[in-house]
Amino acid sequence: MNRILLIARREWKERVRQRSFRVATLINLVVILIAASVPTVIAYFQDDTTGSTTVAVIDEAGVNAIEQLTPYVSIDTSGDSIELRAADFAASEANQRVESGDVDAVLTVRRDADEQLAFEYVNEDGEFDATARLVISGLAALSFSDRLIQAGVTEEQIASASAAPSFTIAASSGDTAESDSDEIVGTKLAIAFISAIIMFMAIQLYGTWIAQGVVEEKANRIMEIMINAATPRDLLAGKVIGIGLAGLSQLIPMLLVGGLAFGLQPRIGRAFDVDTASVFGNIDFRAVGLTAVGGFLIYFAVGFILYASLYAGVASMLSRQEDLNSAVGPLMIFMMVGYISAFLVLPVPDSLFARIVSIFPLTSPFTMAGRMVVTDVPAWELALSIGLLILAAILGVLIASRIYRIGVLMYGQKPSFREVFRNRKLLGTSR
């Protein structure tokens, strides 16, 4: 264990101390912060580009016109918001205030000679626009309620009779509509897709680091020195642990910053007086962030051990960097299958194919972490997926250590896989 820890520490320090490692980590953090701010930025510019119509209300009849009209007047058909506010001027100044641009329209509510409500609406061009249509629909309800009150109907009876009816939207299959809006589903899918992309890039990048390090040590004959101080199994374990920790040293800050930034979106929006729900619905970024980060770390840690050990085992049979890409080709095929599967199954996370690829160990790191974001994965599926992935990682380490031992001990030769598993004498050698 001491030898493994020493090797792991050496590998970790060698990677972390590289300037490229630190610069790449800093750039990634900046990119993540910018990406996490996209909801607020989009909502901010949406708020700026969305118009607002101000209607000043002169309530000479004293019927609480603003309060009664508000439920009918909020957003017109063009997407502009409509603000009703009490006028601080007399009705005789209505035309002047509209002409000067102080308000967009003036609504005067008064009673005629028959004590019935009468309304006068003044806007700039005198057209029956979208705002005027909404206002008149609210005025019709206001006038109707006022006539009922004059006929002796109480306000409580009017409120009871005009209460909103029970209304449910159902699919043709008989199922009720989903509670999540399209915006929420779209945001969760985006986070899940990003998780799959980062998972693939991270395992592929750090696995390549291990493979390149093994081949470089063999080519520079450094391994001849190291093999005298540690067993091949120690070298394999230390290299996988060390580079894995270097990867986590880069990924954990990125994930924590990303999760925290997403979780703070509602507060950031409120600080800038921006409604992020107008873009992404009422999604709880904090819950999604914790789910995405937690699931990602679990599947990255175990998935990396599985693929990294196989990368090291394959690379140990090579002596030239030029042969590396072709040698790791079969591993890349499995990774590409998992990566492509993620984009196929995340839009339909409860399908049979989604369940299969999120349980199969070689593809589950790329699909299950994202599935946990977009749907509620049954506990037994999650436990089975993680359990099989751990077993596969253990089996991968055993196979890789066997290949690694032979690849290291047959120094200067090019052993085939057939020779590796047939050479019992070398397999029994401790060093």
- Positions of E strands within 236-329: none
Structure confidence at residue 380 (pLDDT): 92
**Maximum Cα–Cα distance across the chain:** 114
Percent of the chain residues past pLDDT 70, beyond the cut = 77
Percent with pLDDT over 90 in the chain: 7
| C-beta of residue 313 within 8 angstroms of C-beta of residue 399 | yes
Residue range(s) of every CATH 3.40.190.10 domain in the chain:
51-161
Q: How many angstroms separate the Cα of 429 from the Cα of each of 7, 212, 423?
A: 21, 25, 10
| pLDDT per position as a tens digit, 345-398 | 888 888 899 999 999 999 999 999 888 888 888 999 999 999 999 999 888 888
Would you state the structure tokens that stand for residue 7, as one six-digit string? 């090797």
Mean pLDDT calculated for residue range 90-97: 87
Would you say the pTM of this structure is higher than 0.85?
no
| Per-range mean pLDDT, top range of 5-9, 68-72, 226-230 | 5-9
* C-alpha dihedral sign at 340, 346, 347, 348: positive
Mean pLDDT of the chain, nearest integer: 77
Would you tell me which CATH number, out of the four given (3.40.190.10, 3.40.1350.10, 1.10.287.70, 3.40.50.360), belongs to the domain 51-161?
Answer: 3.40.190.10
Rounded CA-CA distance 292/374 in Å is 10
Listed residue (367, 79, 408, 92) closest to 233, CA to CA:
408
Q: Each residue of 242-275: pLDDT tens digit?
A: 888 888 888 888 878 877 777 777 777 777 776 6
In which band, very low, low, confident or very high, does the pLDDT at 132 lie, cut at 50, 70 and 90?
confident
Judged by average pLDDT, the poorest of 54-68, 98-112, 278-292 is 278-292
> What are the angstrom distances between the C-alpha of 192 and each of 69, 184, 262, 281, 344?
43, 12, 14, 17, 12
